[in-house]
Structure 1
Amino acid sequence: MGVEPKLYLSAINTLKSLLLEIIFETLTDKSERQGMLTALDKLLLFDITLVFETYIRSLVSEIEISKEKSERYACALEEKVRERTQQLEELTRVDSLTGLLSVRYLNETLTRTLRIAQRRHEPVSIVYMDINEFKTINDNHGHPHGDHILRAVGAAIKKISREEDCCFRYGGDEFCLILPNCQEEQARERYVNRLSAEISQCFKNVTLSVGIVQTGPDKYGEPDTLIRKADEQMYAAKKASKTDDRIGDAVDVGKTA
């Protein structure tokens, strides 16, 4: 319409007043004048109806356009929030230093892995390890060097892991790995030995103590119990390495009792 409705109606009323003055001045015949007044009312009503219908359609169109824009904006905002939430969840799932999974998801992941293994009647091996004399390394060479070693160990773990393996930084210099469909002996021979080779390529004087516990396929342990047993095996390996005269092994592996 181009102007506000009240301005348009004001203009129509002004125009009608002017036309009425002209009609009453020029037409003396009552019937002719009445016919002209009736025609004028119809004409103005038609014009007003046409203008307001057009105006209403325009308003409806603008509302629909605004609604579409709002919906698109809401969808875009929702997608951004979803992406940001996923990013934040990913940050909480991954240890920032090593790139391995965060320990807060260890029990949840192990519980799920055991449930799947039970359905498939498959073994699961839990590998628990830490870096020998890591405190001494930090004290002698500084924390930046210690962080460098942790990153290198994390990279080595990821390099040799299968897609289905779940690898966690347990805390400090300790790591915990969940190996689905893997027997203890396989974990020792294939996984730990490869990890030993990777660590030896990066550092000549860095060694790991490792504990391995298998559960299933005949009987499955509880997540907390399995982690505790693997931890105990790791400390047994560490204790044995301190009383052993062997030199050059990158990994000392605890034996399952």
Structure 2
Amino acid sequence: MRIGLVHKCIGVEPKLYLSAIYLLKDLIQKLLRKLSPTDTEYQAVVDSLDKLIMYDITLVFDTYIRSLVSEIETAKEKSEHYARSLEEKVQERTRQLEEMSHTDPLTGLLNVRHFENIITTALYSAQRRSEPVTLIYIDIDDFKTINDMYGHQRGDEVLRLVANAIKSVARAEDITVRYGGDEFCMLLSNLRAEQAQELIISRLEHTMTKTLEHVSLSIGIAQTGPEAYIDAFTLINLADKNMYSTKASHKTDKQEPKL
């Protein structure tokens, strides 16, 4: 049986092995013809020789074929493993691309395009459960002045720090968004405006005083439900309007923002 394995390993084709076997058989038959006293004995020995050679050929070819099958199975397993690995890489890359299409690259918050896709769904879900939804609209005061005086690199840093502050006070179920250049939104499910003021906004303002002491925020808040519901566009506009009211009520700081 090992002959088949050896032949497979060293690349001996089956036809060469068969040629050698039949040549050997012919030589043995010629020798037997000389040594056998009668035709009957000669034929009996030749018949036994044929059976022996055929048995040997069967074993060798069986081993040879099993070796080929084993190679095919190994190649198949390697191909399947490669296909699975490639599929996992494609899935991971697809996930990364989807995440990139949903998030703002500077802050890591959701981008406005994805927010517009999910806010209506979130409002429908809240309405089915008869839950309130609160939207917080946030604007960085004097952000243009910060960019003009300290450069866009510092402006980007301020945006990241504000985004980090927003993420730090948000709950796991809250949706946080960079809505515009220096504007952010937080969509809070199952939370009334007064609760959002206490649980979210007060903590956000406290966090800002620790991380960006000389940067202030104008914040507007709007609630929909559970008694009556407005659509996403109206909710955003209402929170935006309230944000501008807050900004207008802020005392004008004559000093340049200190960073």
Mapped contact 1:128–1:230 kept (Cα < 8 A): yes
- 2:85 aligns to what? 76
Find the partner of 1:200 among 196, 209, 221: 209
Q: Tell me the amino acid that sits aligned with residue 157 of structure 1.
A: I
Calculate the aligned-residue CA RMSD, in Å.
Answer: 2.3
Unaligned runs of 5+ in 2: 8-12
- 1:21 aligns to what? 30
Deviations along 1:163-215, whole A, 9 cap, x unmatched? 11111111211101101111122223432222222222233332222221111
Q: Tell me the amino acid that sits aligned with residue 131 of structure 2.
A: E
Deviations along 1:53-83, whole A, 9 cap, x unmatched? 2222222233223323332333233233323
Instruction: Provide closer, same or farther for how the CA distance between residues 50 and 190 of structure 1 changes in structure 2, counting only shifts above 3 A.
Output: closer
State the 1:217 CA deviation: 0.5
1:189-228 pair list within 5 angstroms: 189-228=198-237
Rounded Cα–Cα distance in structure 2 between residues aligned with 1:32 and 1:76: 66
1:77-116 pair list within 5 angstroms: 77-116=86-125
- 2:195 aligns to what? 186
State the 1:28 CA deviation: 5.2
Rounded Cα–Cα distance in structure 2 between residues aligned with 1:173 and 1:92: 20
State the 1:41 CA deviation: 1.5
Rounded Cα–Cα distance in structure 2 between residues aligned with 1:196 and 1:123: 23
1:11-90 pair list within 5 angstroms: 11-27=20-36, 29-90=38-99
Q: TM-score, normalization: structure 1?
A: 0.85
Q: Tell me the amino acid that sits aligned with residue 84 of structure 2.
A: C
Q: Tell me the amino acid that sits aligned with residue 163 of structure 1.
A: A
Rounded Cα–Cα distance in structure 2 between residues aligned with 1:141 and 1:60: 71
Rounded Cα–Cα distance in structure 1 between residues aligned with 2:139 and 2:88: 41
State the 1:6 CA deviation: 1.6
Q: TM-score, normalization: structure 2?
A: 0.85
Find the partner of 1:166 among 175, 182, 189: 175
Q: Tell me the amino acid that sits aligned with residue 116 of structure 1.
A: S
State the 1:133 CA deviation: 1.6
**Equivalences, count:** 246
Q: Percent identity?
A: 52
Q: Secondary structure at the match of 1:171?
A: coil
Q: Tell me the amino acid that sits aligned with residue 179 of structure 2.
A: Y
Unaligned runs of 5+ in 1: 249-257
Q: Tell me the amino acid that sits aligned with residue 57 of structure 2.
A: I
Mapped contact 1:125–1:187 kept (Cα < 8 A): yes
- 2:242 aligns to what? 233
Rounded Cα–Cα distance in structure 1 between residues aligned with 2:139 and 2:90: 38
Deviations along 1:129-155, whole A, 9 cap, x unmatched? 211221111001111111111111111
Mapped contact 1:107–1:224 kept (Cα < 8 A): no
Instruction: Provide closer, same or farther for how the CA distance between residues 245 and 150 of structure 1 changes in structure 2, counting only shifts above 3 A.
Output: closer
State the 1:247 CA deviation: 9.2
Rounded Cα–Cα distance in structure 2 between residues aligned with 1:42 and 1:159: 85
Q: Tell me the amino acid that sits aligned with residue 23 of structure 1.
A: L
Q: Tell me the amino acid that sits aligned with residue 130 of structure 1.
A: D
